Amino acid sequence: MSPPSIAEQIIPPLIRDAAQRGTTLNTMLQVLVQSVSDAYPMPEAKFRVAGLGGRFALLARENGCIDAKAAAAAYVGHNPKKRSNAETVRKAAREKRLIAVRDGHRDMLFPVWQFAEGGGALPGVPQVLKVLSERPGYSDITPFVFFLQPHPRTQGTPLDALRAGRVDDVIAAAASEGD
């Protein structure tokens, strides 16, 4: 195994320090995109870093994401008779009943916004995931893009429509994706 590169030695502690001093994620991403663009003046470098930055920004919206343990607690809600279990939410994500994205460390992150106040998923999330997952080009980021960006069929974001109880409108919007 080779020793860590100079970038691997310097950048992670620098980012941690900036975060501890209050640097926002958006500011950090802007600095990273600009720094990579300056150091590697080829178009693909800027696009790759900007794409990564866009993904991180999308995952951070609507109160961000939580790990499987915290997601399990949100999934069972305030019911003292139910025990939270991280494997339960991982299984639900694999079965497309919950939204999750791999975290790069062999686990999953779950968006906070998909959980109902009293536990479980927001009504309609599993049905919409089923429809989305059957569309060509589906990936783990697809639900984030779909739910968090305005859609003409929901007159706002599909997430807002779900919160308003308009499940059928959101399912119709998901079915029309890519048309």
Q: Which of 106, 67, 101, 64 is nearest to 86 (CA)?
A: 67
Q: CA–CA separation, 160 vs 24, rounded Å?
A: 25
- Output the six-digit token pair for 177: 């994706």
**Amino acid (1-letter code) at residue 37:** S
Partners of 108 in beta bridges: 102
pLDDT(50) > 70: no
Task: Output the pLDDT for position 167.
Answer: 97
pLDDT band per the 50, 70, 90 thresholds, residue 7: confident
Q: How many CB atoms lie within 10 A of CB 92?
A: 21
48 phi, psi to nearest 5 deg: -65, -45
**Alpha helix (H) residue ranges in the chain:** 6-20, 25-39, 43-60, 68-76, 86-94, 125-133, 142-148, 158-163, 167-176
Tens-place pLDDT, residues 90-138? 999 999 999 999 877 778 999 999 999 889 999 999 999 999 999 888 9
The answer to whether 76 and 121 have CB atoms below 8 angstroms apart is no
Residue 151 has pLDDT above 90, yes or no: yes
Residue 43 to residue 39: CA distance in whole angstroms: 12
**Residue 31 confidence class, pLDDT cut points 50, 70, 90:** confident
Domain residue spans of the chain: 6-60, 65-176
